[in-house]
Amino acid sequence: MAKKTILSGIQPSGNLCIGNYLGAIKNWKSLQNDYNSIFLVVDLHSLTVNQIPAELRNRCYSFVAQYLACGIDPDKSTIAIQSHISEHLELMWVLNSICYMGELNRMTQFKDKSKNQKNINVGLFSYPVLMASDILLYQSDLVPVGADQKQHLELSRDLAHRFNHKYSNTFTVPEPFISEKGSRIMSLQNPVKKMSKSDENLNNIISLLDSSDVIRKKINRAVTDSGKEIIYSKDKPGLSNLIDICIALNGRSYKEIEEKYAGKMYSSLKNDIIDLLIDLLSPIQNEYNKIITDKDYLQNVLKQGADNCSYKARKTISKVYRKIGLIKK
């Protein structure tokens, strides 16, 4: 029985953080053993905001190196940069032609990101169509999604159904992949907000490349709550976020955490989290430092990934062009 295809990607903005690792990349490591896995650096999506070209280029290399350092195996998974496969944009144009303005107007992420902007670019508006192209191009069966991306996946499903109905069965209709192991990590200083790699306040995140000293300072400064008892409660978002981080790192239950820290101070929990983070990130950083300086290896990984993706993408786009009446070149 053929493996199902699972696709995910991260935009090369900001700094990959423990939110990305615990919520996504850690799961990718296990998924690559059971699925035909495609993990992208979606650089075209990052162009909806102003970029410094040299910095964007370096971040793309850095993100690929971090994928590899975290355990994504190029012999088990396809690792590629989105812009290396031109079919993403070709399919996007076709999907633009069957997508309705009203559908894109309803996208909550567009509404949030366009607030207080005077000149809103078309790329930000049509961003979900490019995401649909990313997904449908590889006949993806499953797409890991967080709460903020569910609406975009629904659009992908709608466009797949619409195209299939109009031109006959062409696209696999993707399903959301909800992992039981994924962790939603919140901001260290504002624990009602999700930890984001693009956060301008670096004290809100633990980057995968933060040094031990920086990790220690950030965790020690992390917001807790009034009171002394270490318990998990919605009324204590700061403390609960630290407990979630601890559980994601050591695999214990909420009950075990509360029993272990009964009668202890918040500093005891924070010190243990610091040790767990350093134990997790030190080997990743050591591996990253080796990989990022080996440009030949990175280029080989990216060429292999682009070749794998291009083969699959060309099959899909050829079928699409034939269905809609374009002449094959």
Active-site position among 4, 194, 260, 319: 194
Catalytic residue (choose from 26, 197, 218, 270): 197
Assess contact for 21 and 70: CB atoms under 8 A.
yes
**113 noted as active-site residue:** yes
Which backbone phi and psi does 71 adopt, to 5 degrees?
110, 10
Identified catalytic residue from 113, 217, 260, 315: 113
Consecutive H or E run containing 176: strand 175-177
Q: How many CB atoms lie within 10 A of CB 327?
A: 6
Residue type, 216: R
Q: Dihedral sign, CA of 177, 182, 187, 191?
A: positive
Element (H or E) spanning 7, and its range? strand 5-10
Instruction: Tell me how far apart the alpha carbons of residues 294 and 195 are, in angstroms, rounded to a whole number.
Output: 30
Distance from C-alpha of 143 to C-alpha of 152, rounded to nearest angstrom: 11
Q: Is residue 194 annotated as part of the catalytic site, yes or no?
A: yes
Is 295 a residue of the active site? no
Q: Three-state DSSP class for 144?
A: strand
> Using an 8 Å Cβ cutoff, are 41 and 9 in contact?
yes
Q: Give the separation between CA 82 and CA 299, rounded to whole angstroms.
A: 14
Angle at 10 between CA 128 and CA 147, to 5 degrees: 60
C-beta of residue 16 within 8 angstroms of C-beta of residue 207:
yes
Radius of gyration from C-alpha coordinates of the chain: 21
CA angle 220, 254, 187 (to 5 degrees): 40
CA distance 322 to 165: 15
Q: Mapping DSSP to helix (H, G, I), strand (E, B) and coil, where does residue 99 land?
A: coil
Q: Which residues are catalytic?
A: 113, 194, 197
